[in-house]
């Protein structure tokens, strides 16, 4: 059933979407004025929507952030501002909003949006997502396109913007492939209420709650997709240290989701990625570290196989490169510098390879954590060693302790 979607993706039907009730939950911790802008945009362009702004225990010292909640209450009386009893991080704050929503006297909405508190949207964003979600009864969630607000700030943000454009292209590629794209991102996603509540809400223990909920929706048989006409912008890290922390959470968090998921169609894209990357890495390592173990194959066959492998690799590089250049025409915010970065290959190559270090580190950190949990740490020496290694990992940004927010 799934195999044919490798080449011919599922198609989704179009239904009328009149009278769809909507609610949006916005978890927020120490918000900026951007949150007020977002509220204004939502209410101006989607007047019937119910908004739950969840103050995730913003500390009393953060007076500016607290003032944003006061201002929101004054300016937008229709917005429900609720405060968690303790800092619950993003997944917990959304669940808190969900519980409040479920306890209201009014009927449950058809669609529940969740989003970050610092995004920008357009007049058609939420409508576009609603149409895309209600288009087919199989769909449990749709996410927006993700664009970058501060693309032109520096080279790092520009490279991330190109990468985000690639994420959008990947989501379009994966539409109808098995049950849809790998992740309905936390930046802005619309859930069918029945699907979200049926899945039991968000997992508060996960480092990467958006990927985790997507896998559980798929486990329950729902499909997901990206709403192509729904645009949203986010601000990306401007410093490498911030980016590193974010990517450690994404990659290590992704591995933890992968390890727990038992429904392989939910994670098929990730499985391919890890198998190819890890397989190549391991084989190269074996090649250089233990050359004697792979000797012993002589004659005409090695030359023939070697030629085929090199040809296949060159073909993949050329096809991949030409495709990347071709799709840049759909990148509406591109300028000459984006063309330069893409055509010259090297900046994106360096960027991708630096980020691949995060992935390699995540493999090591994941293996270390899996092993250390199995070992008895009661032995003093071993316990000290494990703590030392863990603090070493922490120094280079690898930790299991922070939530969605960058620590």
Taking the CA of residue 53 as centre, how many other CA atoms within 13 Å lie in the half-sphere pointing to its CB? Answer: 28
Which lies closer to other proteins via its Cβ, residue 5 or residue 95?
A: 5
- Return the structure tokens found at 345: 């290959």
- Return the structure tokens found at 357: 């270090």
Taking the CA of residue 140 as centre, how many other CA atoms within 13 Å lie in the half-sphere pointing to its CB? Answer: 23
Least gap, CB of 102 to other proteins (angstroms): 31
Which lies closer to other proteins via its Cβ, residue 90 or residue 225?
A: 225
**From CA 322, how far away is CA 320, in angstroms rounded?**
6
Which lies closer to other proteins via its Cβ, residue 69 or residue 331?
A: 331
Which lies closer to other proteins via its Cβ, residue 317 or residue 405?
A: 317
Cα-flanking dihedrals φ and ψ of residue 152, to 5°?
-90, 10
Least gap, CB of 307 to other proteins (angstroms): 6
DSSP bridge pairs for 225: 142
The residues near 116 (Cβ < 8 Å, ≥ 6 apart) are 26, 186, 187, 188, 234
Least gap, CB of 120 to other proteins (angstroms): 11
Least gap, CB of 264 to other proteins (angstroms): 14
Residue among 95, 46, 49, 334 at smallest CA distance from 203: 95
Least gap, CB of 186 to other proteins (angstroms): 20
Least gap, CB of 281 to other proteins (angstroms): 7
Least gap, CB of 397 to other proteins (angstroms): 16
Least gap, CB of 45 to other proteins (angstroms): 10
Is the Cα torsion angle 278, 282, 285, 287 positive or negative in sign? negative
Which lies closer to other proteins via its Cβ, residue 178 or residue 393?
A: 178
Which lies closer to other proteins via its Cβ, residue 94 or residue 111?
A: 111
Which lies closer to other proteins via its Cβ, residue 52 or residue 178?
A: 178
Which lies closer to other proteins via its Cβ, residue 198 or residue 237?
A: 237
DSSP bridge pairs for 28: 55
Which lies closer to other proteins via its Cβ, residue 201 or residue 361?
A: 361
Least gap, CB of 12 to other proteins (angstroms): 7
Least gap, CB of 394 to other proteins (angstroms): 22
Which lies closer to other proteins via its Cβ, residue 84 or residue 127?
A: 127
């Amino acid at each position: 059933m799934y195999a044919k979607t490798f080449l011919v993706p599922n198609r989704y039907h179009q239904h009328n979407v009149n009278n769809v009730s909507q609610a949006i939950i916005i978890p927020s911790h120490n918000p900026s004025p951007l949150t007020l802008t977002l509220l204004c945009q939502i209410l101006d362009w989607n007047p019937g929507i119910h908004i739950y702004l969840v103050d995730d225990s913003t500390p009393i010292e953060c007076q500016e952030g607290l003032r944003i909640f006061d201002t929101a209450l004054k300016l937008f009386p229709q917005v429900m501002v609720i405060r968690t009893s303790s800092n619950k991080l993003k997944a917990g704050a959304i669940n808190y909003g969900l519980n409040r929503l479920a306890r209201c006297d009014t009927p449950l909405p058809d669609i529940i949006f969740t989003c970050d508190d610092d995004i920008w949207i357009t007049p058609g964003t939420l409508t576009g997502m609603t149409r895309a979600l209600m288009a087919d009864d199989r769909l449990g969630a749709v996410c927006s396109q993700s664009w970058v607000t501060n693309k032109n700030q520096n080279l790092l943000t520009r490279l991330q913007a190109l990468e985000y454009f690639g994420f959008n292209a990947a989501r379009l590629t994966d539409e109808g492939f098995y049950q849809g794209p790998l992740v309905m991102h936390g930046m802005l996603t619309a859930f069918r209420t029945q699907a979200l509540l049926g899945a039991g809400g968000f997992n508060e223990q996960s480092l990467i709650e958006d990927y985790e909920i997507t896998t559980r929706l798929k486990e329950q048989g729902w499909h997901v997709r990206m709403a192509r006409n729904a645009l949203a912008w986010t601000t990306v890290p401007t410093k490498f240290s911030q980016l590193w922390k974010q990517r450690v959470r994404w990659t290590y968090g992704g591995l933890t989701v992968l390890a727990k998921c038992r429904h392989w169609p939910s994670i098929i894209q990730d499985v391919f990625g890890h198998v190819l990357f890890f397989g190549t890495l391991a084989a190269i390592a074996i090649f250089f570290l233990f050359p004697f173990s792979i000797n012993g194959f002589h004659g005409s066959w090695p030359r023939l196989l070697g030629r085929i492998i090199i040809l296949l690799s060159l073909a993949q590089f050329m096809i991949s490169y030409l495709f990347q250049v071709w799709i840049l025409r759909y990148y509406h915010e591109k300028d000459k510098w984006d063309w330069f970065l893409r055509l010259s290959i090297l900046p994106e190559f360096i960027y991708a390879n630096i980020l691949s270090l995060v992935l390699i580190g995540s493999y090591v950190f994941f293996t270390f954590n899996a092993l250390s949990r199995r070992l008895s740490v009661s032995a003093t020496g071993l316990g000290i060693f494990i703590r030392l290694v863990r603090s070493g990992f922490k120094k280079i940004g690898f930790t299991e302790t922070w939530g969605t927010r960058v620590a």
